[in-house]
Chain A
Amino acid sequence: MTQGELPGPGPDERLLPKGRRNKQGIRIDPEAEAEHQPERALLSALVKHEPGVLAEVSGLFSRRQFNIESLTVGATIDEDFARMTIVIEEPRPGIDQAKKQLEKLIPVISVRELDRDAVQRELVIVKVNGTEPDKVNAITDMYNGETLDAGPRTITVQLTGDHEKIDNALDAYRQFGIREIARTGYSALARGEAATAKVSEPNQAPTDAQTATEEAADD
């Protein structure tokens, strides 16, 4: 006889609930369950500019299995802070969870999901075979690119744009033979007067005069 038996009605003789939840813990009608499809979201995080923050953020995404397409990081006008732009592809609950987990990291000051109309750009450097320089240059011009280096065997160009434009340009270059590419991933800011971070950056332009000074310094 097995030990530790307890008294009471068995599993089939009990009051059992009728409802169900899906994998995300959302109550569903089992007859009409709709799966959440992955979608692409653009997150912008203002973080402290200190050692280890990039490792902390990238570690968070990998250990919680969030699917990221790109992650860029760079300085802001205040040297104490950096801005990260992260493109993530997840079902909606995963995107929300990623935002909250990111915001929870102590060196992360603010996280915002940017609207689809945010100003977003990626830069790519492409090295193609240089056997047909005129044709290569024609494509570079068409995509408003810039030739960075040209030699007898290779031509290296730079392009900026959104994902679609860069993909189209790469398709066009493919006929010459692409040797190597390096893509930066997206950088983005909210469009218009909307702030990209939820909080003001400490040295964010409070007056026009200061803005001008900072822009001058940036140049």
Chain B
Amino acid sequence: MSERASVPKDEEQADSESTVSDVATGAESVVAGLENAGVEHLFGVQGGAIMPVYDALYEHEEMEHITMAHEQGAAHAADAYGIVTGKPGVCLATSGPGATNLITGLADANMDSDPVIALTGQVPTDFVGNDAFQETDTIGVTQPVTKYNKFAEGPDTVGDSIGEAWALANEGRQGPTLVDLPKDVTQGETNISPGGPKTPDTYNPPTDADEVIVQEAADALAHAQRPAILAGGGVIKGEACEELRAFAREYEIPVVTTMPGTGAFPETDELSLGIAGMHGTGYGNLAISNCDVLLGIGTRFDDRLTGGIDTFAPDADIIHVDIDPAEISKNVEADYPLIGDAAVVIEQLDEALTQAPPADEWREQCQTWKEEYPLDYEMPEDEPLKPQYVVEKYDEVTDDDCIVAAGVGQHQMWAWQYWTWTEPRTWVTSHGLGTMGYAVPAAIGAKVAAPDQEVVAFDGDGSFLMTAQGLSVAVREGLNITIVVLNNEAVGMVRQWQDGFYEGRRMASEYPWIPEFDKLAEAFGAQGLRLEDPDEVEDTIQQAREYEGPTVIDAIIDPTENVYPMVPSGGDNARFALNEDHLEQL
């Protein structure tokens, strides 16, 4: 590599009293902005228009850059990093195709309110609008999928723009932000060092909810005979898990989690009713459907959770706690809107609540449902291998803080259902956008974020094929991760819908031929293991966990296995199907 050839620092700059490293160019200001925010890792892909920023990173060894195989992977890795650490993950890409490749990852982060900051190169300002080489209107195309984006104005202010975007990704309702960096701005001279991360003065996320409504909500809860808590991803994002756990236990209120809220409340607790929604537990869905007061915290009541809105908790007064006012009464009308920070509002409710709800009978009812609707599966003597068994066995041998990543599809639902969740920030998947291919880059981002925690990814064969190139990154970085491909040689969830709702017409859902994933892994330099025999599950898992570096387990599972319980799209949560016959009755 050659010596860095950039604009020499002038004397005035060298004399500057700035507390951060002195800057001479816009690109150095960008890096200083990241440094001020305490950024330690970046995920990205090089390219023409972003080169000045990479060049400025050359001297910053304290910031580790992970070169990804594809920009989509960079965005997903940053997203997973954000989920695991709670602080914005950083991704970089060049202009044009680099930036457009990020979009799926940004849209994913936007749906799940994951903190991510993306830095994209852009053609020089004078070329913008002329259809220059690798020019795309990145601000225009990312506007609908980011919380905030900004076209950098000049080398003097670009570092502050980075700090602002980082702070906006991090504060209030978290989400992805983007700064578009034209090459003349990053190459331009400046001697102004940026300040620390700071949101605009006009950005003031709420903290405390309205005291009057808090009292009214507490009164409703105190007299509820069938109360339930629905804990969403906002409980985890808002660092309110301790408050939630203490509150639910003190007042003995059953807790159901949404998919992003998984881990907010331990499923080992008697009050836990698992998860609700399309593939949620029977008891979780029955509790949500029949409750008379529902305390929803940090949830946006999305359609995969509610099923048909006409039948969603139709007998319940809804107390909705959210930091984003726009979520209140968006999908389900809130009888008691509590706009504020989850942890603060739970404390407020705790202070306002005079008694535990009189709900002995209800809790008994919930326990009865738990006994009636266990998540169970038939285990044959030998083959075929059941996917649920693989998930359960992996859960058995790992610690509570093991991070589980997943792609999107049947494998994701099995992982979600059959893993016993006890800790927040251990379930790393694509919720709202449903992005197949999320698992491999997410496992990379999660492992970089938490090198001391075990990371396993469950993936499907269809999902894995979308981002398998990320294995090259995992091998190069020497990451100890295991990717378990639950392989049924089909896009299984689509096939399940075709069988259930399209008279079994399996159009474009089955693969007549797919690669042998264990051998593919070996070609990448990873350990590849093939698993077919249920008796070998434990040994195979052990072999993967002992290996120094990434392992792919190609688990050939029962191709006829489907995901239940299931609430058909727009259906009644209480009338979930337990088998295909039920689906036909609905």
Q: A residues near B, CB below 8 A?
A: 2-12, 14-27, 51-52, 55-56, 59, 63, 93, 96-97, 100-101, 103-104, 106, 109, 199
Contact = CB atoms under 8 A, between A and B. Distances in A.
B113 to A, nearest CB: 12
B309 A4 contact: no
Interface string B284-306: 00100110000000000100000
A26 B333 contact: yes
A8 B310 contact: no
Interface stretch (B27-35, B265-273, B344-352, B368-376): B368-376
Given A3-B562, A11-B585, A18 B314 contact: yes
B580 interface: yes
B182 to A, nearest CB: 13
Contacts of B6: none
Contact of B315 (A17, A26, A97, A104): A17
Contact of B376 (A2, A3, A7, A12): A7
Interface of B: 139-140, 143-144, 147-148, 151, 168, 200, 202-203, 282, 286, 289-290, 301, 309-315, 324-326, 328-333, 365, 372-378, 558, 560-565, 572, 574-582, 585-586
B579 A25 contact: no
Interface centre among B290, B314, B574 (most CB of A within 10 A): B314
A104 B339 CA distance: 13
23 contacts: A2-B562, A2-B579, A3-B558, A5-B564, A5-B580, A6-B374, A6-B578, A7-B373, A8-B372, A8-B578, A14-B574, A15-B574, A17-B289, A17-B290, A17-B314, A17-B315, A18-B315, A19-B315, A59-B144, A63-B144, A93-B329, A97-B330, A199-B202
A51 B125 CA distance: 14
A11 B586 contact: yes
A interface: dominant SS: loop
A107 B312 CA distance: 35
B102 to A, nearest CB: 18
A25 B373 contact: no
Contacts of B585: 10-12
A106 B203 contact: yes
A59 B312 contact: no
B578 A3 contact: no
Contact of B565 (A6, A12, A20, A199): A6
Contacts of B372: 7-9
B98 to A, nearest CB: 21
Nearest to B373: A8
A18 B373 CA distance: 22
B564 A21 contact: no
Given A10-B582, A55-B140, A104-B326, A20 B375 contact: no
The 10 A-B pairs with the shortest beta carbon distances in the complex, nearest first, are A19-B314, A25-B332, A100-B326, A2-B580, A11-B575, A4-B562, A5-B579, A8-B373, A26-B333, A6-B578
A104 B328 CA distance: 13
A46 B560 CA distance: 58
B561 A51 contact: no
A97 B333 contact: no
Contacts of A63: 144
Contacts of B312: 21, 25
Contacts of A14: 286, 574-575
A35 B575 CA distance: 27
Given A2-B581, A6-B579, A59 B143 contact: yes
Contacts of B562: 2-4
A63 B146 CA distance: 14
Contact of B202 (A5, A10, A109): A109
Contact of B333 (A4, A25, A100): A25
Given A25-B331, A97-B330, A16 B143 contact: no
A22 B203 contact: no
A59 B141 CA distance: 11
A93 B558 CA distance: 47
B561 A3 contact: yes
A175 B92 CA distance: 62
B20 to A, nearest CB: 25
Q: Which of B289, B563, B586 has the most CB of A within 10 A?
A: B289
